[in-house]
Chain A
Amino acid sequence: DGGITQSPKYLFRKEGQNVTLSCEQNLNHDAMYWYRQDPGQGLRLIYYSQIVNDFQKGDIAEGYSVSREKKESFPLTVTSAQKNPTAFYLCASILTATSTDTQYFGPGTRLTVL
């Protein structure tokens, strides 16, 4: 089945640690996105990538980093510089950055800082 997978589903981190969230898609989509969702709120864009080896900052990129070495993979690293990282993280993809199609979302990773 084609789709987007995110792992792990739940992640616990100690303060001061970096953690990496995985996002993989087999939809052959060019563009991929990372969103953050805080409780009771909408989604905010962290980073996006339109093609391999290229990515752009979104609205709340501080304290996060990404890479796009392969078309199907767009991992997100939450660094120790992110002051309040506890949140729900959603990855999405779309065929191309100019497509009129909808974005397709993964199941999300819930990150908790202990």
Chain B
Amino acid sequence: AQKITQTQPGMFVQEKEAVTLDCTYDTSDPSYGLFWYKQPSSGEMIFLIYQGSYDQQNATEGRYSLNFQKARKSANLVISASQLGDSAMYFCAMRTNNAGNMLTFGGGTRLMVKP
């Protein structure tokens, strides 16, 4: 069975500073993908970044980067130069090589950016 764990229910960060959101996963499937989504108070799920299990380099998308440590089964999201608009819930999710392309989600981390 697949499992995603996000151990930080809530975090504060000062505007313009970097922050790391933790995500650990568990799967026995050698082929998998890891996703991060942002959910503002409006409720929509916004895709941020993706890392494949066979990717050699850590994924980056603008101010978002993924610190992928395969041996430790962690896929932490790093947000650089935090902005007030980054305040939201953040979810880590995993897709394994399953029929149906289903995602398993973690419980989320609420990030609050202080001015």
Contact = CB atoms under 8 A, between A and B. Distances in A.
Contacts, number: 58
Contacts of A33: 102
B105 interface: yes
B42 A107 contact: yes
Nearest to A43: B105
Nearest to B106: A42
Interface string B89-108: 00101000001111101111
A90 B45 contact: yes
B85 interface: no
B12 interface: no
Interface residues of B, number: 23
Interface string A76-97: 0000000000001010101011
Contact of B108 (A42, A56, A100, A108): A42
Contact of A45 (B37, B52, B102, B106): B102
B45 to A, nearest CB: 4
Contacts of A99: 101
Contacts of B105: 42-44
Nearest to A105: B45
B111 to A, nearest CB: 14
A31 B43 contact: no
A102 B101 contact: no
Interface string A25-36: 000000101000
A50 B108 contact: no
Interface string B1-23: 00010000100000000000000
A45 B101 CA distance: 11
Given A41-B107, A42-B105, A44-B105, A50 B100 contact: yes
Interface of B: 4, 9, 33, 35, 37, 42-45, 47, 50, 52, 91, 93, 99-103, 105-108
